[in-house]
Amino acid sequence: MADLEQRTPDILPERPVTFGMPDGRELHLYGPFQGTPSWPWLEGNTDGSFSHRRWHALRREWVVYSAHRQTRTYKPPANDCPFCPMAPEGELPLQEFSIAVFDNKFSALQKDAPTPQPIPGLDIPLASAVGNCEVIVYSSDHNASMASLPLERRERLVRVWGDRIRALMAIPDVQVVMPFENRGEEAGVTLHHPHGQIYAFSYQPPIIEKMAQSFREGYDLSKLTRLPQYVVADTATAAALVPPFTRFPYEMWIVPKRFCATPAELTAAEVTDVAELLAHVANTYDAFFGRICPYVMIVYAAPKGLEDVFPFHIQFQPLLRSPTKMKFVAGVEVGAGSFLVDILPETAAQNLRNVEVTS
């Protein structure tokens, strides 16, 4: 059990200025911004589409079906980016902003998703897709990235993750909140403005469910920060490391040395160290591969009811195994779920430690 006294952060929580959008969504602005947003083009524009879940009888997991997402924005030109300030009929009609969070127009999960009606002839369980999906835009600068954001902005980003996790976990049905970022078209990015997403689930997805079981059984994630052969970058309160059981070549995790269930519990020093490591990891990948490295970054925080055992940490899964070779998930990995890795974690950690990073 973690000591609750040790979890008290020494910084004020990040809180937003919130605006209601005409289609029922909300915009939350963190930090300074210029302008007062309005969306006249959204007046009377409510979609009314809902997702639902179906139980995969063989994999024993829920699959979410969201037919309305087929029409979502796909690779618009830079001069028509809906996340840029004052873009025509864009999401962020402002002159400038620091960090913006808003409900995804093409949400895979909905707070008021109804119970689906039975499908004739289908004998598998169905369930509502209750939850929420948010977009988190890191900067009003279309050309920024996690690696290029100033330290102050990355510190605010860590605190915003904490605040959004707090706000979404307050929804009664929500069990898990997971911020993440897909970087690069190879990772599925369809909008190049620097941004991530935040999913709030009303159930524990299978990977998080397995992680939760390990933490309930007493697995100590922080012990990896004390194994120098796996540590790539070290700070006083957190480490970036290659876990000894990677599934992706050159996978790196950011792990605080003190147990925290959520980023909202980090102290000011811990926020700074995590923010420093976010840029260090992204810059290390780009320097090591000699190109912009596509990756998936996942922010894990404790599911509801597991705040004493499930530690906040961040996982980076790069999609390259060399500058010219992608790590494809295929064949045995898709069909059997058994990953094949060509680089030993110990070798990967050593290679990444040797990278000269300029930030």
Q: What is the pLDDT of residues 124-148, one digit of tens each?
A: 999 999 999 999 999 999 999 998 9
Q: What integer is the mean pLDDT of 7-24?
A: 85
The helix-helix angle for 151-169 and 268-289 (nearest 10°) equals 110
% of the chain with per-residue pLDDT over 90: 72
pLDDT at 269 over 50: yes
> What is the tens place of the pLDDT at every residue in 158-212?
999 999 999 999 999 999 999 999 987 777 777 889 999 999 999 999 999 999 9
pLDDT at 281 over 70: yes
Question: Taking phi first (over 0 means left), then psi (-120 to 50 degrees means alpha), and beta for anything else, what does residue 103 get?
Answer: beta
Which one has a higher pLDDT value, 87 or 73?
Answer: 87
Burial class (CB in 10 A: 0-12, 13-18, 19+), 303: buried
> Which of these, 57, 60, 23, lies nearest to 38 by C-alpha position?
23
Question: Quick check: 253 and 241 in contact, CB under 8 A?
Answer: yes
pLDDT at 70 over 70: no
Average pLDDT, the chain: 90
Q: Which residue has the tokens 């605190």?
A: 159
The helix-helix angle for 345-353 and 268-289 (nearest 10°) equals 90
Looking at residue 203, its pLDDT comes to 94
List the catalytic residue out of 28, 193, 195, 313.
Answer: 195
> What is the tens place of the pLDDT at every residue in 73-82?
656 676 789 9
Reduce the DSSP state of residue 3 to 3 states and report it.
coil
Looking at residue 318, its pLDDT comes to 94
Looking at residue 1, its pLDDT comes to 35
DSSP line for 94-158: SSEEEEEEEE-TT-SSBTTPPPPPPPTT--S-EEE-BEEEEEEE--S-TT--TTTS-HHHHHHHH
> What is the tens place of the pLDDT at every residue in 297-340?
999 999 999 999 999 999 999 998 888 888 877 787 778 778 88
Q: Where residue 2 falls among pLDDT bands split at 50, 70, 90?
A: very low
Tell me if residue 195 is catalytic: yes
What CATH architecture applies to the domain 4-353?
2-Layer Sandwich (3.30)
Beta strands 126-128; 238-241: pairing state = unpaired
Looking at residue 30, its pLDDT comes to 97
pLDDT at 277 over 90: yes
Q: How many residues does the chain have?
A: 359
